[in-house]
Structure 1
Amino acid sequence: MVLLAAGALLATGTLMILGQGQAADILASVVIAFVVLVTAKDMVQHMMRGHWGLDILAVVAMVATVLVGEYLAGLIIVLMLTGGEALEKMAENKASRELDTLISRAPAFAHRNNRNDGQIVRIPVDEVQVGDVLLVRGSEVLPVDGVVLSERATVDESSVTGEPVPVTRAKGDEVLSGSVNGTESFSMRATATAADSHYASIVQLVQEAVASQAPMVRLADRYAVPFTAVSLLIAGIAWYLSGDPVRFAEVLVVATPCPLLIAAPVAFMGGMSSAARVNVIVKEGGTLEKLARVRAAGLDKTGTLTQGHPTVTDIRGFSCSTAETLAHAAAAEQYSVHVFAEPIVKVARERGLNLPPVRSAEEFATNGVVAVLADGSEVRVGKARFVREVTGHIPELNLEPGVAAVYVAVAGELAGVLLLSDPVREDASETLKLLREQGVTDIFMVTGDVESTARSVGDAVGIERIYAEMTPQQKVKVVQANTSRPALMVGDGINDAPVLAASDVGVAMGARGATAASESASAVITSESLARLVDVINISKRTVRIALQSIWLGIIISVGLMLVAAFGHLPAVAGALLQEVVDLVAILSALRALSAHNKVPSMRRGVSSPERQAAQRGVTGY
């Protein structure tokens, strides 16, 4: 379309220079009529769906130029409309470059060590199976998630965690797909397929973000009716007072709404790109608009305010020995997705315990898991209240801050208790302080953990309002009942998925891979830093501010040009050319959102994840 418009404008101008005015007028009329029909068709379809857009002004302006004989001005409007669409695509492509980079870097191949002959074979990454031994060569991208088999591996995880300093992983440590190996080759065992790996989940989120259309685009349409009315009013008055219908066309030529149509989507694509640069994948532009106005924040405890890497610190036996207590707990926890399950099973395996065979198991969200062993006995693992249902009295424990107790019952008797510690994130307290400075004054904790553990974490980070021992349904009710709006919720577990989906803005701590939380959330933090929450809110505010500034800039300039044209000081052709300049100004103004990440407060004030803090102290690995 833009090439047709440019060619028609060039041909019309050439014909006019050659004295073929009639042929020039006919050519211009045909091209303008074609564009009017195409634009009008789209406009009517939008109007039938209840959306009154700004294209009506462009259609009226093009028709008016033909009726009054301003064919050259009409062609310039055509070029402006089609060129504006092309410029918008170019701007969107530039704005989404950061998002596309993730997709383009997705690993395509892996080098597998065949079990039979020990040969290294290059295979498509989709063929990697769990348990495969892979060779990762120097500077290669890790194809899937896995554990290190070599004595050590030095990898750059900046593309997936945001931490700029390479980290050293020892034998048995986990490594993430999408990380870049250093100069030394190492072997790893795949723990996930390519589709289930960490990097694949990020790529999927990015694709959703790129494909989405920012609802903020409709913000420009909210100006459609008043802007159209004002433009037609000015044009009508100018025609009436001057008695010249050309004046009507001259006013409408500079009233074409391209700046308003272009500014919002370009700004929001830029904001989404800026968010990606600080390791936050925003799935749609509407999320940025809500984040810019957020006034309340609910946070889960485990994996959000805490590091989410709990460790077993003590085991106490009651009716069973400590080894039996651990073995029964691990047998049941194999079937749990709770964050405590993995460390319990890991400790049992490290100690070489034989886990009793399990016939069936069922998990009760936020409470625990019940397993029926092969001999028919029941094992119940979880909170005190959950285990007390079958054991009766449970002795009270004096726990240190940040320590959680997991009770174990076997055949209705209290077998023992496991104590786990999950340290508070080092950046949590400062992050909450920055949130309050951003206007998020209503901050509360919503967790399924017991009151004592939740209170100790709340005291450590400065949260007074705490909702403990909440089920997923109760979490939803707490957030929905909150009076400060919009409200965001931050979580990372499967039991957080309902509340993330129900809140105004759900933010998932998704650094450890794809979960129900990240799928139901509006945005996903792909690094281990809670401070990214402050970053994305700041980016959102700046993006919305830039979008509105760009829209109003286009309105003010257009109204000013309309007034000049109304007094007869701006010929139609000159006005059409000036409107092209207005388009460029609007796009350049909106593109400022691409650099919104450069002004985030946590970066300026040094809030960072534990990995970055370690790097600043000169520590590059474990």
Structure 2
Amino acid sequence: MTQTLSPLEAPAKPGLLRETLQFSRSRPLMVFVVIGLATGVTLWATGQQTALAITAFLVVGVVIVTTAIGMVRDLMSGHWGLDVLAVVAMVATLAVQEYVAGLIIALMLTGGEALEAVAARRASRELDMLLNHAPAFAQRVDPVTGDVQRIPVDEVAVGDELLVRSSEVLPVDGTLLSEHASIDESSVTGEPLPVSYQAGDSLLSGTVNGTESLTMRAEKVASESNYAGIVKLVEAAVDSRAPMVRLADRYAVPFTILALLIAGVAWYVSGDPVRFAEVLVVATPCPLLIATPVAFMGGMSSAAKLNVIIKDGGALEVLARVRSAAFDKTGTLTQGKADVVNIVPAARSARETLQLAAAAEQFSVHVFAEPIIAAARVQKRELPQVAHADEVATNGVHAVFSDGTQVRVGKPAFIEEVTGHITRPALAAGETAVYVAVGNELAGVIVLSDPLRPQAADTVARLRAAGVEEIAMVTGDVAPTAESIAHEAGITTVHAETTPQTKVELVQAMRPRPVLMVGDGINDAPVLAAANVGIAMAGRGATVASESASAVITADDISRVADVMYVSRRTVTIALQSIWLGIIISVGLMLVAAFGYLPAVVGALLQEVVDLVAIVSALRALSIHRRVKRERGSGTPLGAEAFAQPTRQ
């Protein structure tokens, strides 16, 4: 359980200045440069040139050596970075005795990391909120005395009875013991309104109890509960460094050559070496280094506010360029909440067919297992005892009962392995069939209805408007059911009765690339990992699919697929705009300096302003989610113009 803090007890949110000071304590080199700059300015103002020179050579020299070491390591690994230009600029200022300018550049280089960290922390605040929301304690009810004991959430065991008070966070996944409860699931599933539950219903950790206390029985330990899975995904997202940071390095060589060319020409034409230093002072590359990671953290934060956890910046960049998409059917395009609507008997009665199937399906994690078991419970069928069972991914379950009876439950091809050819019943739109065999006979067919998600067709349409040229369904379900659902969703390419291996082969063969795969189940894990970028639907708890996906939708809403693609494209666009803004301003300042109108000290100060402009521009990515929510509220979907491709580089 997590106790709610009052405003007086809650920790204060650190402001920008406080965050900067906290960061500076962990950056002794930056503090050293700040002190050096303050000393240098004082010496310059009092006319103590010799002391100023000594101070500048000492402070700037340390920064040059420190930066050069990292630069050499990068060059040895074949990576040309923008630090080369900063080192040349600092050496040039010392050579022409522009000591204060050299100190300012040193501060800009070391302090730029602090600015980036503060901005990134601001951008990742939504991810941090998810981490901080994780339950830390639980209230366990003693089964003998009824006393309530506060324990760390890691000590909760399966079967423990837990008390959850009003407005407290549910510590683990469990089953409701109270007669009823009202739960706020907005932080986990994105559902804006409280959800009502009755005794026996499953509850998710990380959700918030309503106004009345409830009791629940723990069904999972904390480390295996729903919210723990989300927290792991968030931690991976926070810890990752966006490969998109390399985008700035794409400009490293041309930008360095251009800066050195302008500086060299200015020196040659004027005959004044100071002009060389003045140009390079405003050519320092901090805006290029800062803008991209800040924009990407902002984009990941916007996605998190839309209940999508993007694991790393590389996935965000690929999402922005997706040209083909593949969807699983059950639980992805459909609601995954099927109901048994008919049982077609064959060698066994409808009653026995349901009993046998429910007994075997107890050992399956497929979304159709639970409705079959639930149907048997509603009819109060006593399930035969199973001695051994194996689930064959995407095919079904093979169970051996205590009396030696062998039962298969699953796809028709799985059943035909032991029965030979079977007649398949006609199915209506949205219906699917689960086949049951006893020994080498078809016992019967269970028909379930799993309707299309309400947002599925609109999501497919939005992806097409975004420029996704090829959209396909890849599913293990039978062709008639798959084609019916695909038609409703607006998908024309259907690959039915696939295995995990054929799913991988189909997605790898899709063109044009990059390819997006969206799925939800264990059988989707291989294809999610094989696609250029995979999105897992995990609105009712993390699965193996979540572990192999590049992004996870924690809300039970497939339209988030189109939302996160829009967020990704806008983020990349903002990053590119911020980079180009820094380049254009820097080149403009270089040209002014080349004509002798920008002293080195003034240029160094102006470059700090360019840094701030780049950061402010990149932080626009924090507000991307607001437009998505605004459009959702108005009922007007984001059009093709909103999905405009980011500038290709």
- 5 Å-filtered alignment, 1:491-530, equals 491-530=519-558
Distance 1:147 1:583 in 2: 53
Say whether 1:442 aligns with 2:466.
no
Counterpart residue number, 1:262: 290
Structure 1 residue 68: deviation in Å? Answer: 0.8
Q: TM-score, normalised by structure 1?
A: 0.96
Distance 2:35 2:587 in 1: 30
Structure 2 unaligned segments of length 5 or more: list them.
1-28, 638-649
Counterpart residue number, 1:37: 65
Amino acid at match of 2:538: G
Q: Please, which of 366, 378, 382 is the counterpart of residue 338 of structure 1?
A: 366
Distance 1:394 1:289 in 2: 48
CA contact (8 A) 1:295 1:440 kept: yes
Distance 1:528 1:291 in 2: 20
- 5 Å-filtered alignment, 1:162-561, equals 162-561=190-589
Q: Deviations over 1:229-274 (max 9, x none)?
A: 1111111111111111111111100000000000000000000000
Structure 1 residue 375: deviation in Å? Answer: 2.3
Distance 1:478 1:68 in 2: 63
Q: Deviations over 1:79-125 (max 9, x none)?
A: 11111110000001001100000110101111122212222222211
Q: Please, which of 129, 138, 147 is the counterpart of residue 119 of structure 1?
A: 147
More displaced, 566-575 or 169-178? 169-178
Q: Deviations over 1:219-238 (max 9, x none)?
A: 00011011101111111111
Structure 1 residue 354: deviation in Å? Answer: 3.0
Structure 1 residue 53: deviation in Å? Answer: 0.2
Counterpart residue number, 1:620: none
Structure 1 residue 607: deviation in Å? Answer: 8.1
SS in 2 for 1:161: coil
SS in 2 for 1:122: strand
Distance 1:220 1:382 in 2: 52
Say whether 1:78 aligns with 2:102.
no
More displaced, 269-278 or 236-245? 236-245
SS in 1 for 2:348: coil
SS in 2 for 1:115: coil
SS in 1 for 2:187: helix
Distance 2:198 2:360 in 1: 29
The count of residues paired between Structure 1 and Structure 2 equals 608
Counterpart residue number, 1:613: none
CA contact (8 A) 2:189 2:540 kept: no
SS in 1 for 2:166: coil
Distance 2:499 2:441 in 1: 25
Structure 1 residue 291: deviation in Å? Answer: 1.0
Q: Deviations over 1:157-183 (max 9, x none)?
A: 110011221121122222211111111
Q: Please, which of 576, 581, 588 is the counterpart of residue 609 of structure 2?
A: 581
SS in 2 for 1:575: helix
More displaced, 599-608 or 310-319? 599-608
Amino acid at match of 1:14: T
Q: Deviations over 1:257-312 (max 9, x none)?
A: 00000000000000000000000000011111111111111000001000111122
Q: Please, which of 635, 638, 644 is the counterpart of residue 606 of structure 1?
A: 635
Q: Please, which of 88, 91, 94 is the counterpart of residue 66 of structure 1?
A: 94
Structure 1 residue 367: deviation in Å? Answer: 1.4
607 and 112 in structure 1: CA distance in 2 versus 1, 3 angstrom threshold: farther
Identity percentage over the alignment? 64
Structure 1 residue 482: deviation in Å? Answer: 0.9
Distance 1:600 1:541 in 2: 13
CA contact (8 A) 1:531 1:607 kept: no
More displaced, 338-347 or 204-213? 338-347
Amino acid at match of 2:72: V
Structure 1 residue 314: deviation in Å? Answer: 2.2
CA contact (8 A) 1:442 1:484 kept: yes
Structure 1 unaligned segments of length 5 or more: list them.
609-622
Structure 1 residue 461: deviation in Å? Answer: 1.3
Q: Deviations over 1:28-70 (max 9, x none)?
A: 1100000000000111111111110000000000011111101
More displaced, 12-21 or 413-422? 12-21
Q: TM-score, normalised by structure 2?
A: 0.92
Amino acid at match of 1:463: I
Structure 1 residue 504: deviation in Å? Answer: 0.9
Amino acid at match of 1:60: V
Counterpart residue number, 2:23: none
CA contact (8 A) 2:469 2:512 kept: no
Distance 1:514 1:182 in 2: 24
SS in 1 for 2:222: coil
More displaced, 378-387 or 596-605? 596-605
Distance 2:77 2:362 in 1: 52
411 and 607 in structure 1: CA distance in 2 versus 1, 3 angstrom threshold: farther
Amino acid at match of 1:263: A
Structure 1 residue 404: deviation in Å? Answer: 1.2
CA contact (8 A) 1:253 1:572 kept: yes
Compute the RMSD of aligned alpha carbons. 1.4
Structure 1 residue 605: deviation in Å? Answer: 5.2
Amino acid at match of 2:388: S
SS in 1 for 2:342: strand
Structure 1 residue 459: deviation in Å? Answer: 1.5
CA contact (8 A) 1:430 1:607 kept: no
Distance 2:449 2:351 in 1: 19
CA contact (8 A) 1:427 1:607 kept: no
CA contact (8 A) 2:470 2:511 kept: no
Structure 1 residue ranges (4+ consecutive) displaced by more than 4 angstroms after TM superposition: none
SS in 2 for 1:159: coil
Q: Deviations over 1:176-207 (max 9, x none)?
A: 11111111111112222111111111111000
Structure 1 residue 445: deviation in Å? Answer: 0.5
Q: Deviations over 1:390-430 (max 9, x none)?
A: 22342331211111111111122222221111111111111
Distance 1:112 1:473 in 2: 45
CA contact (8 A) 2:126 2:301 kept: yes
Distance 2:478 2:534 in 1: 23
